[in-house]
Chains A and B, each alone.
Chain A
Amino acid sequence: MGKRVGMEVSIAAAEAVKQANVDVISAYPITPQTHIVEHLSELVANGEFDAEFFCVESEHSALSVCVGAAATGARTFTCTSSQGLALMSEITYIASGLRLPILMIISNRTLSAPLSIWNDHSDAMSIRDCGWIQFFVENGQEVYDHVFVGYRLGEDRNVLFPVIINMDGFILSHVIEPFELIEQEKIDQFLPPYQPVHRLHPDRPVTMGAFALPSIFTEIKKAQEEAIRSSIPKILETWKAFGDMTGRYYHPIETYKAEDADTLLVTMGSCGETASVAVDKMREEGKSVGLVKIRLWRPFPFEAFKEATLHSKQLVVIDRAISVGACGPVAAELKAALYGEAQRPSVYNFVAGISGRDVTPSDFIKMVDKAEIEIEKGNKEGYEIYGVRG
């Protein structure tokens, strides 16, 4: 059993980066990610952590430094939010195409305009298709744990993908939570130093980042797509190994009182914990409601998701982002995942909690009630923005 401490989540994230023996860190400050980089600079400045640490002149360069360092064989870390992620988005695609196992924590924050520093998932959705393994975590412990899971997984020679840990800005990044820290010896065993298959070094010259003509591009993309899809068993295996070490087991889709529920709330990120309180209340009132939480966003766990939801009558999907002119991006994804099934639940979609607006247990209850009424009326695939005033 590791040491139990109370700590701000961003500080714990930085401690995890230190414990993971990261070699090169490059970042640019942006609210609400700043505490992670501040604490990392402190650790390096105090000589407690041997790493090359750079505060660069932009997020675009932050990820570019990681790409250069990872290609040279270093374990690398960066973190950002919102506009910063939008600025580095070009390089997110390249990092995946080059199959470099960089780890990035995103303190999720809304994208301008209007300017807002508060939490939602619009930043994460803007790079949804960049080809990274993408996790959404629910609490601070999960952030800390997934740093080790992420590196071991991304660096696995059968995986070789960069990894994103999405944590809700402020709601997670700035709160103090209890943590169970893992002993260093255990981590060193779980996560040995990175041994790249190829690295930039004069002893074995390689060309990396060559361009592809149309005659070969499709094949390369197919290989990337196959590789990320077939990383799911590896992800499960890594979680299993981590669970065996710590007693904390993770799954691509987490469920709560979902097995026999007619109505399932579907959430991603920290609001899952709030939703579970709402589920308890509704259960007390005799309602058949359960909760499904998406932890693994890419590669999308189609099978696990269907297994968790196909028995239900309706899904009430909470999106913390809008695909402007369409609907919530998670709901769109889930509808597509279920489309091939003859018997499938209705998907009612709420956009809620954007730009940090609080979503309380009673809000979840209201959304479930509203969805059930609408579906009853025949509006089976509805979409609305919840809680708009006026």
Chain B
Amino acid sequence: MTENLNVFAVRTLTQKEYFAPGHRACQGCAEALAVRLVAKALGRNVIIANATGCMEIVSSPFPFTSWRVPWFHVAFENTAAVASGIESALKVLMRKGRIPHKKIVTLAMAGDGGTADIGLQALSGALERGHDFIYICTDNEAYMNTGIQRSSSTPFGASTTTSPAGKVQMGQITWKKNMPAIAAAHNIPYVATACPSYPIDLVQKVKKAADIEGPAYVHILSVCPTGWRSAPELSIKLGRLAVETGVFPLYEVERGQYRLNIDFPKLKPIKDYIKLQGRFRHLTESMIDEIEKRVHQEYEQLKEKAKKGV
């Protein structure tokens, strides 16, 4: 996978769009781009269960839809359970000969709030039960759809409407929940992180997740100009910086084996990433240093795991 990253071969992707244009996502929404790439990776033989959130709202105002594949929205916290139902129905209906046998991928999709907060229980249940499905968390690091409220996936220091930078508190006071590690702790066959700034890597991971039997979890960092207070035209750049500074390393955990997809001998200074985002505007030098220290520490731990292969 690493070797392909240098070949920025977006043109090898299908021209077909399964997530149709004309949806209502904000300018520069990297989440919409991530979803578009996921849909391209999976093609037409897929059924999507989508949690309440940005992607649901921008794509399905009745009677319109952006979806050219079967798509289902039920509620906020139960997407993994809904996907479990879809997957088991496909299995039993094929077994009983009521629908023809063919490979149909069940995809559950939710944001960071729908995954790391309210949907965590349903996700854990579905991973433990071992359904053959892909769960994708498009992580824009806050409840953006309802107006930028903090989630447990919001990074330390980020100012949101419920973790504002005030006189005594400097934005989010807790550290981002490590969802990929939680998913991996379920001993599922495949966990990966991805970012639409690395489209080929993302597509390949989603394809791999589809091929693997059993649950697969893909955590996609999705830059949100509206919530991050960043310029819409910088979304791709910010995604790359998140990876290059070590804030969001691209890695896979395949049957328990960690693999770092791109290893940087020297990480870029975290300031390069933070300075482009209004949500971090209030941070002092010492807080930035503190964040950098922690990022480096976690990056080293990850490298260590990758080296040992565990």
Contact = CB atoms under 8 A, between A and B. Distances in A.
A64 B82 contact: yes
Interface stretch (A168-176, A199-207, A287-295): A199-207
A68 interface: yes
Contacts of B86: 68-69, 71-72, 200
Contacts of B46: 202
B308 interface: no
Contact of B65 (A61, A64, A207, A220): A207
B interface, size bucket: 35 or more
Contacts of B187: none
A210 B74 contact: no
Nearest to A97: B74
A318 interface: no
A73 interface: yes
Interface string A53-93: 01011101110111111111110100000000000001100
Nearest to B100: A203
Interface in B33-82: 44-47, 49, 56-57, 60-65, 67-75, 77-78, 80-82
Contact of B96 (A50, A56, A200): A50
Given A57-B121, A58-B125, A201 B81 contact: no
A90 B98 CA distance: 31
Contacts, number: 164
A220 B63 CA distance: 11
A205 B67 contact: yes
B153 interface: no
A67 B92 contact: no
B110 to A, nearest CB: 13
Nearest to B48: A200
A324 interface: no
Contact of B125 (A57, A206, A209): A57
B121 A207 contact: no
Contacts of B64: 210
A54 B89 CA distance: 12
B89 A72 contact: yes
B125 to A, nearest CB: 3
A64 to B, nearest CB: 4
Given A58-B121, A68-B86, A74 B72 contact: no
B173 interface: no
Contacts of A332: none
A54 B93 contact: no
A60 B78 contact: yes
Contact of A23 (B56, B72, B92): B92
Interface stretch (A10-18, A34-42, A211-219, A231-239): A211-219
A208 B73 CA distance: 6
Contacts of B99: 73, 201
Contact of A65 (B57, B82, B121): B82
Given A73-B99, A91-B74, A210-B63, A68 B124 contact: no
Interface in A90-145: 90-91, 94, 98
Contact of B68 (A52, A74, A205): A205
A interface, size bucket: 35 or more
Contacts of A91: 74-75, 78
A66 B95 CA distance: 18
Contact of B88 (A65, A90, A205, A209): A65
Interface string B116-130: 000001101110110
A131 to B, nearest CB: 15
A68 B83 contact: yes
B84 interface: yes
Contacts of B85: 24, 26, 64-72, 74, 76
Contacts of B80: 61
A61 B83 CA distance: 10
B73 A201 contact: no
Contacts of B44: 202, 205
Given A52-B92, A61-B122, A202-B46, A68 B60 contact: no
A51 interface: yes
B104 interface: yes
Given A58-B125, A68-B74, 13 more contacts: A50-B95, A51-B92, A56-B129, A60-B122, A62-B81, A67-B74, A74-B89, A91-B75, A200-B47, A202-B69, A205-B68, A206-B70, A211-B62
Interface of A: 23-24, 26, 50-52, 54, 56-58, 60-62, 64-74, 76, 90-91, 94, 98, 193, 200-202, 205-213, 216, 220
Interface of B: 44-47, 49, 56-57, 60-65, 67-75, 77-78, 80-86, 88-93, 95-96, 98-99, 104, 121-122, 124-126, 128-129
16 contacts: A23-B96, A61-B80, A64-B78, A64-B84, A64-B122, A68-B72, A68-B74, A68-B81, A68-B84, A72-B85, A90-B75, A91-B78, A98-B74, A202-B47, A209-B72, A220-B62
4 nearest CB pairs, A to B:
A68-B85, A57-B125, A209-B73, A72-B89
